[in-house]
Amino acid sequence: MPTEKKEDKIILRFENVSKLYNYETHSLRNLNLTVEQGEFLFICGRTGSGKSTFLRLITRELSPTSGKIFFDGEEITAMKHRDIPYLRRKIGVIRQNGEIFLEERTVAQNLEFVMRATGHEEDTLRQRALKALSMVGLGKKADCLPRELSGGERKRVEIARALVNNPRIIIADEPTASLDRDLSWDIMSLFEDINQLGVTLIIVTHDKEIVNIMRKRVVTFAHGKLLGDVKRGRYGDLL
């Protein structure tokens, strides 16, 4: 039996990536970073340090000014525009300011809408939506309207929405910023469960308590540079 090469386990690699939005500001500078399938990373750093830029490079919402990015064995910086939807199907995204829901459609229909947009077979949509909702503990809310949900439940729907395409990786930009302590912990334990299924998690957060208790890999940015990358790290050791 051939042994598995280490390369096969790499899901994401940044090779000397820099991003300048204009000629003065380096939003990311010479970033080298490798993430293996199944890892759980927290991305930390002050406002303006480049965290959101990093996430938006992974989905090719942005392209780097220089350097290369590989995702799931492909160089996404060289990918043709028409292939970008296939890349995005493999990545579940949870955005900083929450998702916009179709308020007149049920929770399940909202998920079906996302899948339709990424080209799934019509007859599988309802079943896939229900599966994703049950994964986040909202199986019974499938036929509710978004306005009938609490803040924590809406966040769970966002996570279900990120899960519907069976992504290899989930990236989340400050997913607990608007939630209280208990709900933040509920969401983090949900992320742990998802990670246990083998999904790679990359989560931007300012939540010191969560980072310090969970002790995951902590990647810290400062002024666009990689300041630290610590296994079982803590928040702010380096800030």
Ligand X SMILES: Nc1ncnc2c1ncn2[C@@H]1O[C@H](COP(=O)(O)OP(=O)(O)O)[C@@H](O)[C@H]1O
* 97 is a contact residue toward ligand X (CB under 6 A): no
Would you count residue 236 as binding ligand X (CB under 6 A)?
A: no
Of 38, 48, 137, 228, the residue at the interface with ligand X (CB under 6 A) is: 48
Query: Looking at 11, 12, 14, 27, which residue binds ligand X (CB under 6 A)?
Result: 27
The residues near 40 (Cβ < 8 Å, ≥ 6 apart) are 191, 192, 195, 200, 201, 203, 214, 216, 217
Structure letter (DSSP) for residue 23? S
| Cα–Cα distance for residue pair 171/200, rounded to 1 Å | 8
Taking every pair of Cα atoms in the chain, the longest distance, rounded to a whole number of angstroms, is 54
Q: Which partner, Mg ion, ligand X, none, binds residue 50 by CB below 5 to 8 Å per kind?
A: ligand X
**How is residue 88 annotated by DSSP?**
H
Sites for ligand X among residues 152-171 (CB under 6 A): none
Residues with Cβ < 8 Å from 151, sequence gap 6 or more? 178, 179, 183
Residue 63 lies near ligand X (rule: CB under 6 A): no
Return the residue of 8, 9, 16, 25 that touches ligand X, per CB under 6 A. Answer: 25
- Give the shortest CB-50-to-ligand X separation in angstroms: 5
Structure token digits, residue 204: 């931007």
Is position 220 an interface residue for ligand X (rule: CB under 6 A)?
no
Question: Which is nearest to 40 in space by CA: 206, 223, 190, 221?
Answer: 190
Report the residue from 12, 17, 45, 128 that binds ligand X according to the rule CB under 6 A.
Answer: 45
Question: Among ligand X, Mg ion, none, what does residue 48 contact (CB within 5–8 Å per kind)?
Answer: ligand X
CA nearest neighbour of 239 among 202, 212, 200: 212
Q: List residues binding Mg ion (CB under 5 A).
A: 51-52
Tell which one of 47, 97, 127, 150 touches ligand X (CB under 6 A).
Answer: 47
List residues near ligand X by CB under 6 A.
Answer: 21, 25, 27, 45, 47-53
